[in-house]
Amino acid sequence: MKPNSRPSAGRLLYAQSGGVTAVINATAAGVIEAARARGVPVYAARSGILGALHEELIDTGKESKAAIAALRHTPGGAFGSCRYKLKSLEAHRAEYERLIEVFRAHQIRWFLYNGGNDSADTALKISQLGKSMGYDIRCIGVPKTVDNDLAVTDCCPGFGSVAKYTAVSTLEASLDVASMAETSTKVFILEVMGRHAGWIAAAAGLAGEGADAAPHLILFPERVFDEAAFLAKVKATVERVGWCTVVASEGVRDRDGRFLAEAGTRDAFGHAQLGGVAPVLAALVKQKLGYKYHWALPDYLQRSARHLASRTDADQAYAVGQAAVKYALAGMNAVMPVIVRTADAPYRWKIEPARLDKIANREKKMPKHFISRDGFAITAAARRYLAPLIRGEAAPPYDKHGLPNYVQLKNVAVTQQLASFQES
């Protein structure tokens, strides 16, 4: 078979990679429904690329139409995800040979890898196997990350929903703080994800507009933490408004490049306490300004809150899944369906293929002009960019017990045909 001809038969393999999101399963639904519509059977790899290496495959054909449709409103990763990066072809040829062996054993002709920039790199490497190893495989990267840091695409499926969660939570908690400020909490600090890029923290800015509206300060990893300026602005806000809401990226660093989260707290055993820039800031506010504080760290709650998903995000997540199947079956290789914004107001978008080598291993930071001069707020340009991404609601159906009706797939294993494999 010629490497560039469209395989006339075979299966499509789909896998989820990296941190999961509220809508990655919507992408899975898009993939499976599009493939089913074209008569192409879909296997899913259990726990991302690891499932492919270990021949732990799931036959999605055993799932009902209703179960696959329910993926569209179920958070988490229905087939399991993983944090595992394939090394170079030169360094770990055995792993690539194993993948080809598994693909061949199960007639996998199309591989769709759903993840962030590391996963795009993996997808790119696999897309090149056809030439170097003589097996005809088409590989499509499918975008996903709450960090919103993928290159080329205007935004990343998963981000809009965590952005909406962050904006709504900031608004709600601030109403609470405002009520209590007279005799109780004056400063509230919300810590959000974002180790390298402040996209999620920026989204909190959508909760309100104007100097007196919460959040009053946003701390970005893109800006060095300036303790004096921070304390001065918190103090001025409390004196003017009566209270103050701060939203901080977990990745905020000091002048020496150290994470604030690590600089501060020690656990009971004297180890540096990770994942807590909020308590460090709270202690600072208490010590230097004397204000009563509260802080919150929603952690996984923020990226799994499917109950509060953005409609824009849920729609885009589904659309990239559908497009990925279309591209794969059309014979495309080494591309990713990306979101192209064609208008801000009214917001319009479309899906286009982009080359994986333009995306793999790159990281999109917040543009400088999205952060205000004082470093504590978002600009009008950031607001224009972010606003459409949290628009619209996509509530899941609820059952009679008052819980969202999330689906649990059967995940029927495909019979293994190969000897076991130990990754290096």
Question: Which sequence positions are flagged as catalytic?
Answer: 147
* Choices 82-90, 150-158, 321-329, 372-380; region in contact with a second copy by CB under 8 A: 82-90
Cβ at position 332, least distance to a second copy in Å: 28
Binding of a second copy by 221 (CB under 8 A): no
Cβ at position 327, least distance to a second copy in Å: 25
What is the distance between the alpha carbons of residues 413 and 278, in angstroms, rounded to a whole number?
Answer: 43
* Choices 6-14, 81-89, 126-134, 334-342; region in contact with a second copy by CB under 8 A: 81-89
Among 5, 39, 90, 287, binds a second copy (CB under 8 A): 287
Question: Would you say 89 or 180 has its CB closer to a second copy?
Answer: 180
Which of positions 235-274 make contact with a second copy (CB under 8 A)?
Answer: 263-269, 271, 273
Binding of a second copy by 211 (CB under 8 A): no
Which residues touch 315 (CB under 8 Å, ≥6 apart)?
Answer: 392, 394
CB 75 within 8 Å of CB 25: yes
Q: Which two tokens stand for residue 355?
A: 């080359």
Give backbone dihedrals phi and psi of 343, rounded to 5 degrees, phi first.
Answer: -160, 145
Distances in Å between the alpha carbon of 53 and those of 26, 122, 279? Answer: 25, 13, 41
Interface characters, 93-112, with a second copy (x: CB under 8 A): --------------------
What is the distance between the alpha carbons of residues 158 and 408, in angstroms, rounded to a whole number?
Answer: 20
Which of positions 304-343 make contact with a second copy (CB under 8 A)?
Answer: 304-308, 310-312
Among 6, 36, 61, 84, binds a second copy (CB under 8 A): 84
Binding of a second copy by 375 (CB under 8 A): no
Question: Terminal CA-to-CA distance of the chain, rounded, Å?
Answer: 31
* Choices 110-118, 223-231, 300-308, 359-367; region in contact with a second copy by CB under 8 A: 300-308
- How would you list the strands of the sheet with 217-219, edge to edge? 187-192, 244-249, 217-219
Interface characters, 20-39, with a second copy (x: CB under 8 A): x-x-----------------
What is the distance between the alpha carbons of residues 354 and 367, in angstroms, rounded to a whole number?
Answer: 21
Which of positions 377-396 make contact with a second copy (CB under 8 A)?
Answer: 387, 390-393, 395
Binding of a second copy by 275 (CB under 8 A): yes
Identify the H or E element spanning 245: strand 244-249
Binding of a second copy by 41 (CB under 8 A): no
Among 2, 8, 39, 182, binds a second copy (CB under 8 A): 182
Q: Which two tokens stand for residue 166?
A: 């962050």
Q: How far does CA 86 lie from the centroid of its chain?
A: 20
Q: Which two tokens stand for residue 320?
A: 């990239």
Interface characters, 50-79, with a second copy (x: CB under 8 A): x-----------------------xxxxx-
Report the sign of the C-alpha dihedral through residues 166, 171, 177, 182, in that order: positive
* Choices 132-140, 163-171, 218-226, 412-420; region in contact with a second copy by CB under 8 A: 163-171
What is the distance between the alpha carbons of residues 222 and 175, in angstroms, rounded to a whole number?
Answer: 28
